[in-house]
Structure 1
Amino acid sequence: MYWNISENFFINISFSLLLISLITNWSNLAFPEIKYLNKIGIICTISTNFCLFFILLSRWISHEYFPLSNLYESLLFLTWSLTLTNIILEYKNISKIISSINTPICLFIIAFASFALPTDMQKASPLVPALRSNWLMMHVTIMMISYATLIIGSLLSILFLILAKNNQIELQGSSIQQLSMNKLKVSSFSKNQKITHKEHYNSRLSLLESIDNLSYRIIGLGFPLLTIGIISGAVWANEAWGSYWSWDPKETWALITWLIFASYLHSRFTKSWKGKKPAILGSVGFFVVWICYLGVNFLGKGLHSYGWLP
């Protein structure tokens, strides 16, 4: 009883903190001169991470198994992974834009887990025999962290496409070499206007370059984790079911996700694609990850159907 009350309390606190973080982060974009807004957002994100950690830890202690046995626990762990990745990137001062695009996703996940899922699905239940293995912690944890990093990297690709709309952009490796702005049909410019336009051009170029590089690096981090997660899952499958690969929906979409991001990284590494094409591929990866993680479970079919949706 005590655990349930404390869990509900910390879930509500997490939702409130994410809402405050969302408001402050978006306000920081509109009013960058107000520096304390960014600090408030970071403090809220860190506090949310601790709240979710307490919830997961309390479930682990009270039920004596790693809290990844059902969809509710999985969603909480994904949100914890997203906030942790956000904190690490902000701590390294890589980008201040990540919080603005990551917080809405976290807020949506918490709201979905708390209000959309039936109460029965939020309760912990005894593990089925196949999940009573040490592979549960290794395989599912690595997969969830890889999902979190790939989601953030893909969101940055989507942001890149939005900001680069109606512009021609060429990429060499992981940097922008040329940005061709649409020609402005104006008869004449004063000297001051030309300087202002040049400064705006350089600022936009620098922002797009930062977003592109950051997306590339984060996806480059998430892809090895996804690879390790798939391999560990195959080993666990052989131990539990006697086969490394069964081509059930979850495994098939995990392979599709791997191929999408492998293609993205290959195109960036070999420089075979330039401009918006790699970003489009990274953006597609965002939706593929959600299909693999959540969409497949709505089918209720395959070896991975237990512990998710009935």
Structure 2
Amino acid sequence: MEFILLLVLASLYSISLIVGLFKQQILSRSVLYLGFILHLTILIIRSLTAHHPPFTNVYESLLLLSFLMQVKFIFFQKSISDRVINLQRLAVLIFTVVLIALPPETRTIQAVMPALNSIWMYIHVPAYLFSYVALFSGLVLAIIRLFSRKNIFANDEQMDTDISLAMIFMSIGLVTGAIWGQVSWGNFWSWDPKETWALINMIVLSLYFHKNDRKAQALIVILTALTVLFTYFGVTWLLSGLHSYS
């Protein structure tokens, strides 16, 4: 049933994007809102069925991440161009398609491991999700900035805000993760693959604040997004460690 709802969701987001490309923004937004409501419904059903928040594995966190991205793009975005709007919708659609493409077993509801059932989970995981929302929001602007011939880009300030928020929430996620590790496993840092790559993400992103050239900043955002995606998917499934349960 959930898989069917995901197919419908992807269809609605696709229609919204296609209609938007033809400058029919009123119809596009109407379809988008239908998709948004369905997305929220899927999350609620998942949470009620699983008896825990929808961010205990890759599938659930990606489902929530794409929803939070949609929340930001719809309700917390300044007035922007159609080009930015369409790229934002494409980004959410891509994540939705990835959800559909994930192995069926990832959608299986499982009980939360005792070591994970901690108050720190409710701080650490959302902090990283918020950082990814800000990062991928900035990524959309970075891609446009990279291919823009203008020296002054209307959304540079928004990109600065997004990347600053991404850095803040990544820092919160890293610190709370260390505390959680101490509580659950007896040490703050173990050089677990995902811990290591989380640190790499922060180091790469920090370069953004040491560059004044907008093209260079855009490249740094794109590079950070790639390292985050590897951390999110590659490290989870290719490298073994304390976070392999994800």
Q: Please state if 1:303 is matched with 2:242.
A: yes
Residue 67 of structure 1 aligns to which amino acid in structure 2?
P
Residue 24 (structure 1) aligned with residue 5 (structure 2): no
Structure 1 residue matching 2:165: 3-state secondary structure: helix
Instruction: List aligned pairs for 1:287-302, cutoff 5 A.
Output: 287-302=226-241
Would you say 1:239 and 2:183 are equivalent positions?
A: yes
Separation in 1, partners of 2:241, 2:194: 7
Kindly provide the amino acid, as one letter, of the partner of residue 41 in structure 1: S
Out of 256, 281, 286, which is 2:225 matched to?
A: 286
RMSD of the alignment, in Å? Answer: 2.0
The aligned counterpart of 1:191 is none
Aligned counterparts of 1:95 and 1:218: Cα–Cα separation in 2: 17
- Equivalent residue runs for 1:97-176 within 5 Å: 97-114=83-100, 116-164=101-149, 169=151, 176=152
After superposition, the Cα gap between the structure-2 partners of 1:146 and 1:45, relative to the gap in structure 1 and judged at 3 Å, is: farther
**Per-residue CA shift, 1:114-154, capped at 9, x if unaligned?**
2x222222111112222212222221112112112101202
| Corresponding residue number in structure 1 for 2:45 | 58
- Does residue 85 (structure 1) correspond to residue 45 (structure 2)? The answer is no
Per the alignment, do residues 257 and 44 of structure 1 end up closer, same or farther by CA in structure 2, a change over 3 Å counting?
A: farther
Q: For 2:189, what is the secondary structure of its paired residue?
A: coil
Partners of 2:239 and 2:214 in 1: how far apart? 39
Flag as ranges the 4+ runs of structure 1 deviating above 4 A. Answer: none
Please give the residue correspondences for 1:219-298 in structure 2 after superposition, counting only pairs within 5 Å.
219-267=163-211, 273-298=212-237
Q: 1: CA distance between counterparts of 2:26 and 2:122?
A: 33
Higher Cα Rg, which structure: 1
Q: Secondary structure of the residue that 1:294 maps to in structure 2?
A: helix
Q: Aligned with 2:213: secondary structure?
A: coil
Structure 1 residue 94, shift from structure 2 partner: 4.5
Corresponding residue for 1:189?
Answer: none
TM-score (norm 1): 0.73
Supply the AA of the counterpart residue of 2:219. Answer: I
Question: Quick check: 1:154–1:282 contact (8 Å CA) kept in 2?
Answer: yes
TM-score norm. by structure 2 comes to 0.91
Amino acid at match of 1:104: L
- Measured in 1, the distance between the counterparts of 2:122 and 2:41 equals 17
Which position in structure 2 is the counterpart of 1:72?
59
Structure 1: distance between partners of 2:65 and 2:163: 16
Q: Distance in 2 between matches of 1:68 and 1:120?
A: 16
Q: Give per-residue Cα distances to partners, 1:70-103, cap 9 Å, x unaligned.
A: 221121111111111111244x424544321122
Q: 2 CA distance for matches of 1:289 and 1:89?
A: 23
Aligned length: 246
Q: Show structure 1 runs of 5+ residues with no match.
A: 29-36, 170-175, 177-208, 268-272
Measure the CA separation in 1 of the matches of 2:214 and 2:162: 18
Could you tell me how far 1:64 is from its partner in structure 2? 1.2
Match of 1:49 among 7, 18, 36: 36
Deviations 1:7-43 (A, max 9, x none): 3443233111110121123223xxxxxxxx2233333
